[in-house]
Amino acid sequence: MNLWGVENTYADGRYRVFAEYANTNANSLPWEPKPMFPGYVNGVYAQGYTNGGRWLGASQGSGSQMSSLGWMDAANMQMAKLHFGRIGSSLGVYAPAIELPHGRMWGVSAQQTWLWKGMSFTPELAYIRFSQSAALAGNQRHSLRAGMAVAVGL
């Protein structure tokens, strides 16, 4: 399995741009002589490399090839990301008996952090579209997610 990335900063570090590529297939390096196969699952651990159904390794799970492009403004605490690629088995969680959304996918996300009275508030909005899905959740191939992270120092 492999993860590759590049990053560059501008304006004395205020702006950061990055690109990443992850491949969660074993023997996935271009010079590997052995055939590629999905990582994180095998005949010994039928539940895969998970805890409570959540992937312990890469969140895109077994047999995936994903790329991400991103931009961050450190001074204003803003970030935007674009993700695209192919999900081999499932994104985020794994249930061997259920076919979860997988296949080609793309997604976008944006977040903004505000500081107030020693706390940070970070709302995030994200959208993901999958090319394939089973009958689970009404053949759901689209996901729109809104969330808020709150951090409080102790």
pLDDT (tens digit, 9 = 90+) per residue, 107-126?
Answer: 999 999 999 999 999 999 99
DSSP the chain: -EEEEEEEEETTTTEEEEEEEEE-EET-STT--SPPEESS--SS-TT-SEETTEESS-TT-TT-EEEEEEEEETTTTEEEEEEEEEESS-SSB--TTS--SEEEEEEEEEEE-EEETTEEEEEEEEEEEEEE--STTTT--EEEEEEEEEEE--
Are 24 and 63 in contact by the 8 Å Cβ rule? The answer is: yes
Quote the tokens at residue 117: 């009275």
Are 41 and 89 in contact by the 8 Å Cβ rule? The answer is: yes
How does pLDDT run across 56-81, given as a tens digit for each residue? 777 788 888 999 999 999 999 999 99
- The chain-wide mean pLDDT, for the chain, equals 86
Identify the top-confidence range among 22-31, 92-101, 117-126, 131-140: 117-126
The Cα 62–Cα 48 span in angstroms is: 8
Mean pLDDT for 13-39 is 88
Mean pLDDT for 89-97 is 76
CB count, 10 Å around CB of 118? 8
Task: Give the pLDDT band (50/70/90) at residue 106.
Answer: very high
Query: 21 pLDDT exceeds 80?
Result: yes
Are 82 and 69 in contact by the 8 Å Cβ rule? The answer is: yes
